[in-house]
Structure 1
Amino acid sequence: MKVSFWLMPIERDRTLYQSLITNLAHRYNAPIFQPHVTLYSGECERERVSEFLKSQSSFDISLEIDRIQYSEQFTKTLFIQLVSTPELNQLSDEIQRFFGGSYSLDPHLSLIYAPLSEAEKRSLVEQIQLSDRGIRFDRICAIETPTKTQTCEDVEAWRKID
């Protein structure tokens, strides 16, 4: 099964970015998802996922916001690019060592998954004003995902693993 490990924002930041994601989703008829940074995505056995999650202690990681960007990739339609840190790289590397495989960490927090025109994406970049210069994270969660996420239905198929 394919599993993605997400770094989750602290409550204050989660509330702020969830509101932005939800508003954009309603505006563009796009899927609603939780704000997160993907640390790793790959094939994993469910028992090992639970084992890994139980082994994690609490932490507090702050990531600096670089800028808002957009791309043609569905899962990076519009996103906040974050500046990586040694602590973040270490956490991602730890997950890769535990499960094997390789994953290229690109720390970002997506704001919408939708087929938007370049003009619309550019307009959104100009409209969205971020008051903070960083986002804090305090936990990891695991999400079962389809092999590729390219549609709203794929996003709606995501399931949290406890």
Structure 2
Amino acid sequence: MRKATAIAYWLIPARPVRELFSEIIRILAEELNAPRFEPHLTLFAAPGGDQSARKLLRRIKAQRIHLAVRDVGFSGNFSKTLFVRFESSDAFTELHNELRHGAKSRAEPLPDPHVSLIYKKLAPRAQSELASAIKFPFPGVVFDCIKAIRCSVPARTRADVESWKVIARKSLHQ
């Protein structure tokens, strides 16, 4: 049976933080036999076509988004195995609402904006140890790009993660 697909809208961290997140994801993927993926913060996912997602990103007028880092967390969910949690902001909520309205989606803002560092089922003790070992030398992250991604929903397997396809991107300006 074929899985449902959707368009996910991602915020992409700016350099040099993007490179740091990418390196952490690479190391965890190699050490724990997990999929590699681009560091991102998912705003929401909704049904839609590739062309409508491209048009939506062309219309967006948002500026770069700055989010304060809260902590490193973990959960039993495949899509939130180990992650960096952020404080929301007015600019983040405005961008989410603009995208959601343009996509005709009823998706609510995430109560827990985050960037995942690994997608894999892990024992709670391993998750806790990893979360406590990861420290960041910065108080916040700038996100300077939005991407629209064709993806299977929900993402529950390595194959789901590896099937993600970028269909559109938009740089956010200062």
- TM-score under structure 1 length normalisation: 0.95
Q: Post-superposition shift, 1:101?
A: 2.4
Unaligned runs of 5+ residues in structure 1 are none
Partners of 1:28 and 1:103 lie apart in 2 by 32
1:126 is aligned with what amino acid? S
Partners of 1:161 and 1:119 lie apart in 2 by 37
2:104 to 97, 100, 103: 100
Runs of 4+ more than 4 Å apart? none
Report what 1:153 is aligned to: 159
Q: How many residues matched?
A: 162
Decide which structure has greater helix share: 1
1:141 matched to 2:114? The reply is: no
Q: Post-superposition shift, 1:38?
A: 0.7
2:127 to 113, 121, 143: 121
Unaligned runs of 5+ residues in structure 2 are 169-174
Deviates more, 1:15-24 or 1:45-54: 45-54
Contact 2:50–2:150 (CA<8 Å) still a contact in 1?
Answer: no
Q: Post-superposition shift, 1:150?
A: 0.2
1:73 matched to 2:73? The reply is: no
RMSD, aligned CA: 1.2
Instruction: Among all aligned residue pairs of Structure 1 and Structure 2, give the percentage whose two residues are the same amino acid.
Output: 31
Contact 2:60–2:99 (CA<8 Å) still a contact in 1?
Answer: no
Partners of 2:19 and 2:92 lie apart in 1 by 22
